[in-house]
Structure 1
Amino acid sequence: MSHLSEIIENHKNLDDLFAIIKHYGVSAEFVTDALVQRFEQIQKDEDGEDKNTEEESAYCAEIIDSLSQYYARL
């Protein structure tokens, strides 16, 4: 599968996922907090077998920062 196809498929899958989340009325606060916790766990797990690259660690830090700012606005 090409990179472009992967991007398009991922966006479609996210749209489908968020349709389910919206249907059940899951709050933005819950989703944001769950994502922050998961990305923080990924950063902590870098000492395990699958070490994160600097790029992955920076990516996680950037997402955590953005989600934390968003959460503070809610």
Structure 2
Amino acid sequence: MSHLTEIIDNHNNLDGVFSIVKHYGVSAEFVTDALVQRFEQIQKNDEESEGSTEEEKVYCEEILNTLNQYYARL
């Protein structure tokens, strides 16, 4: 599977997930908090195992910062 196909499939899958979330009225606060918790867990596990690359660490930090800023606005 090509990288482009993976990107398109992932976007379609996310659209499907968000349709379900919206249908059941799950709040943005809940989704954001769940994502923050999961990314913090990933970050912690990566620090303990030291198996992640610098790029993965930067990505995780960036998305956590963005999600935390968004959560503060809700």
Answer whether TM exceeds 0.5 for this pair.
Answer: yes
Runs of 4+ off more than 3 Å:
none
Identify unmatched segments of 5+ residues in structure 2.
none
| Aligned counterparts of 2:36 and 2:58: Cα–Cα separation in 1 | 14
Alignment map for 1:1-74 (pairs within 5 Å): 1-46=1-46, 47-48=48-49, 51-74=51-74
C-alpha RMSD of matched pairs (Å): 1.0
Q: Give a deviation string over 1:25-63, Cα, whole Å, max 9, x none.
A: 000000000000000000100123x71111111100000
Amino acid at match of 1:26: V
* TM-score normalised by L of structure 2: 0.94
| Aligned counterparts of 1:12 and 1:62: Cα–Cα separation in 2 | 23
Q: Percent identity?
A: 71
Amino acid at match of 1:25: G
